[in-house]
Chain A
Amino acid sequence: MTKKRIFKGNEVAMERLREIAGSVYDQLMKEEIPALEVSSRTKNNIVLSDEHNVWKYGEDVVQRSAKDLGGATGILRSLYTVDFITEMIKDGKSSTLREMYYISEGWNKAKFPAQDDSNKLAEDLEIITRCMREDFKLRPEEDGARVIGNITIEELNRKGDLKRINCKDDVGDSGYGIPYNVEQEKVRFKSVDADLILAVETGGMFDRLVENGFDEKSRAILVHLKGQPARSTRRFIKRLYEYSNLPVVLFTDGDPWSYRIFASVAYGAIKTAHISEYLATPSAQYLGITPSDIINYDLPSDKLTDQDISALKAELTDPRFDSDHWRSEINLQLKIKKKSEQQALAKYGLDYVTDTYLPEKLSEINLK
């Protein structure tokens, strides 16, 4: 039989969600037009938090007031969502964001016109309650990516039992799958024996490193980012970093989109700026592929597209890349007008990346 467990995070979330309903109710009792305040989620309202060294929402707030139809509908949707989440937590269930969107079909006037709207509302509720989606037992479609390396964790499985897993010995070649919820009540770190955490953008490269035994040879914990990393992947890296204090290093393709992956892992993303301090690991370092690598290693390359160029130019004014190192690399790339994938290293053989490239790059930043 399944044990229904309500964790502390869920309890806090339930209490705070109830406060939303309470504030609406109180406003009605005070004969006021109900309104909810949410941080403005535009690029202009993103500021660097000195405390956490990550990107957070600023002080601009948006009033969702029942004075206009959009605001009124928004409040009604919030209430329905609050009710739905609360009941779900009480029942010990969870649902995907997509499932919540479909469930809203039965909410009449509060029905979401598109899944984008329900996703956004879930984020709004995170902002208002200062809780995380995971606390609401809402999860995204895709789970987190994979991990291989010498760490031992305990995960609470669906039967309610704690399952101990060593991510080197107890897993197959695809590694340990990161669940959508990696909070303390679900995933606990038991021990780590490694020198660094290496986050890898593409699955192909991740598999190459695994096949070449890089995790053991270089005492690395390999984390697959799967492109732009899911929230749970970023949270997993953050928690692992806080537990182990090991250096976090990113290995991605050499193009502007990959630099953004790095920025979101290190400093946070606009969409999730309200929880940057949970997701971002400011000490993370970028290893490559850098534009200099393209030249130094004479890598096969593609021409930059117009979108690539404007993305690079946008990064030049992005405060997350405001350092001499990044400026010179980005300007170099704009000059050579080339980009390379990490798998371009295969030009020199399948072992080149593990035998030569990575050791060289790691020693550059004094990791071996």
Chain B
Amino acid sequence: MSKVATPYAEKMAQSQKEISISDFFAKNRQILGFDNPSKAMLVSVKEGVDNSLDACEEAHILPSIQVKIVRCPQKDRFIIKVRDNGPGIVKKQIPHVFGRLLYGSRFYAIRQSRGQQGIGISAVVLYGQLTTGKPATVISKIGDDHPCYRMEIMIDTKRNRPQVLSEQVVLWDPPHGTEIEVEIEGRYSREKKQSVLEYLKATAIVNPHVEITFEDPDGEMRRFERVVQKVPDQAKEIKPHPHGIELGVLKSMLHNTEARKMSSFLITEYSRISPRGAKEILERSGIGENKKPHLLSPDEVQMLYDAFQATNFMSPPTDCLSPIGDNLIRKGLRKEIDSKFAYTVTREPGVFRGTPFQVEAGIVYGGELEAGGPVKILRFANRVPLLYQQGGCAMTHAIENINWRPYGLEQKGGRGIPYGPAMILVHVASTNVPFTSESKEAVADVDEIIDEITRALQALGRRVKAHINKRQKLKKVSEKYSIVREILPEIAKKSSSIMGKPIPPLDPVITKIMNIVVIDSGIHYTEGNSKDGSDSVTEVTIKAQNYTAKPRKFRVMVKVPQALIQGIYPESYRMKGDAIEWDVGPIHPAKFEHLGFSILGLAKDDYDEVEVFYGNLPGEVIGADPL
């Protein structure tokens, strides 16, 4: 070591100060996702909307959110306004929520939340302040009997503390809610894949309980309707699992715990550590049961950490996750994309490194979707759309590694993003979504997650294939219908009139041309009068038509949902689990038989596809799958 080293370091030490978090982010804004003007615009809207959604859901309010972007006279300047109907914020907390970075983040409770995605709304306030020098304006009201406050807030970046520039009581019509208005430097793009509109549209798809209105800088209004009238269940908080904890976090947990003894620390601060498990860990790491947690030496902390990894625990509880639900994703997709076929799947929860996660996926096929290009991919983590870094995301990798050609989509070389008139949606919910980087724009390639996504996508692929097959079959059948219903009678009429003979009977020829059994099914929904919808009726009708030359006897089975079923006809049916089964026939050539039943108490579109199966029937059958 040289002699000048120490004095110089001492000199340096005089200028070395603790840099506040705000100061740090002020100098490294790309870490917050404000890399460029377009992205800054998107991130600002996203933080505002995410914040509003979380607030509404926590208060069990169906969110109604208004987003407005106004162009300022200065180039690349915009005012962003996000207003919600949430619970509002008490006066004392308003400055902290909007004027202090990382405020309110709870350290050790783990929960699936949107908030994981970003740094929070205060980062937008900071960004606006840095680029325009203007404060953010916040209006908030917590109830009809309470005053509504309007505050102008800036962030003291040195101390990471809010500065309230002005505060006044104002009149505001809504009973409760919050509005934030920030002026930022940004760029508004209309067409790009990563646009505000695309983000809002994607948000509306996975949050069908949300209503969003959006006014763009040109004053154009866009409305995303609410299709589900129920606030999703709040995800539960859980304690961390010993396999999902990092060394640094373990250290600070030891330091901050209120537990006095190691054994109680382990049992109370973690999930899935039983008294026996705690004993095993402590024996393995050679730490005394009664040792005070904050007195552990660095070596002991390491030993404890190693003992965590070496010990088997029950998987973490997974009921803490709040998936969207396949039915709701389907409703969301149908609402935003006009397409006949939408299929969704929600997988059972899984665990990676002590962290629960759950995969949901959906696919839309045909309709208005373009056939020529690669399929569009919609990625979501904890209900938040991921718009950047598609190529680096586990969801994309899972899609690329599936051979889609057997499922009826085109794909060059059986790898890569498939081509076709389809859109694929993947949602990963987790208490701790493993992102590839701090910008939280792509999910890391965790084997367990990729496996689950792959399985979900394969299930979707099989449905798409079945759908395509069915469509081709239907086309063939509709051609045959057109022959026997329109052309053949004309042929008979014309030939008999030329020959001056009576019109021949056509049934035998019709059955020869069709040579098929057609099982048509239909759904008719009648809304009830009662408020809970218990008297709404979903009528299901099935018509089995024999277009073959022989009388047919066969079995028909229909899957029914868990609901009150009544009026099943014909009465010679059997209930088999979640299915109704009939023995049909003999139906004579060119004749038919009607079957049906009613379901009570479903919401509209809850039951939108009759799944019919048949048995004991040789030859071609349309409208049902073999048992």
Contacts and interface: CB of A to CB of B under 8 A. Distances in A.
Given A21-B499, A25-B504, A28-B506, A66 B488 contact: yes
B509 A79 contact: no
B490 A31 contact: no
A126 to B, nearest CB: 19
Contacts of A24: 491, 495
A70 to B, nearest CB: 9
Interface string B484-505: 0011101110111111010010
B488 A72 contact: yes
B565 interface: no
Nearest to A18: B498
Nearest to A28: B504
Interface stretch (A80-88, A160-168, A207-215): A80-88
A75 B491 contact: yes
A225 B498 CA distance: 40
Interface string A1-40: 0000000000000000010011011001101111000000
Interface in B498-539: 498-499, 501, 504, 506, 508-509, 512-513
Contact of A72 (B491, B498, B506): B491
Nearest to B490: A76
Contact of A25 (B488, B490, B496, B512): B496
Given A66-B487, A76-B490, A83 B498 contact: yes
A240 interface: no
Contacts of A31: 508-509, 512
B619 to A, nearest CB: 15
B110 interface: no
Given A29-B504, A31-B508, A73 B487 contact: yes
B483 interface: yes
B384 to A, nearest CB: 50
Contacts of A114: none
Interface in A54-68: 66-68
A270 interface: no
A109 B490 contact: yes
Contact of B499 (A18, A32, A109): A18
A34 B506 CA distance: 11
Nearest to B487: A72
A22 B488 contact: no
A76 B482 CA distance: 13
Nearest to A32: B509
Contacts of A75: 487, 491
A296 interface: no
B479 interface: yes
A12 B428 CA distance: 79
A108 B491 CA distance: 12
A358 interface: no
Q: What size tier do the contact residues of chain A reach? A: 20 to 34
Contacts of A18: 498-499
Given A33-B512, A109-B490, A72 B496 contact: no
Contacts of B508: 31
A73 B494 CA distance: 13
**Which residue among B482, B483, B486, B491 has the maximum number of chain A CB atoms within 10 Å of its CB?**
B491
Interface string B342-381: 0000000000000000000000000000000000000000
A66 B498 contact: no
Contacts of B490: 76, 108-110
B495 A80 contact: no
B499 to A, nearest CB: 5
B491 A66 contact: yes
A207 to B, nearest CB: 49
Interface in A216-240: none
Given A66-B488, A109-B487, A21 B495 contact: yes
Nearest to A79: B494
Given A25-B499, A31-B509, A86-B498, A69 B482 contact: yes
Interface in A100-139: 108-110
Contacts of A76: 487, 490-491, 494
A69 B491 contact: no
A21 B504 CA distance: 13
Contact of B486 (A29, A34, A109): A109
Contacts of A21: 494-495, 498-499
B306 to A, nearest CB: 73
Contacts of A86: 498
Nearest to A87: B498
B495 A25 contact: yes
Nearest to B497: A83
Contacts of B497: 83
Contacts of B501: 25
B504 A66 contact: no
Contacts of A32: 509, 512
Given A68-B483, A79-B495, 9 more contacts: A21-B495, A22-B499, A25-B499, A66-B487, A67-B513, A69-B483, A72-B483, A75-B487, A76-B494
The 5 A-B residue pairs whose C-beta atoms are closest, nearest first, are A31-B508, A21-B498, A79-B494, A25-B495, A72-B487
14 contacts: A18-B499, A22-B495, A28-B491, A33-B509, A66-B483, A69-B482, A72-B483, A75-B487, A76-B490, A76-B491, A76-B494, A79-B494, A83-B494, A110-B490
Interface of A: 18, 21-22, 24-25, 28-29, 31-34, 66-69, 72-73, 75-76, 79-80, 82-83, 86, 108-110
Interface of B: 479-480, 482-483, 486-488, 490-492, 494-499, 501, 504, 506, 508-509, 512-513
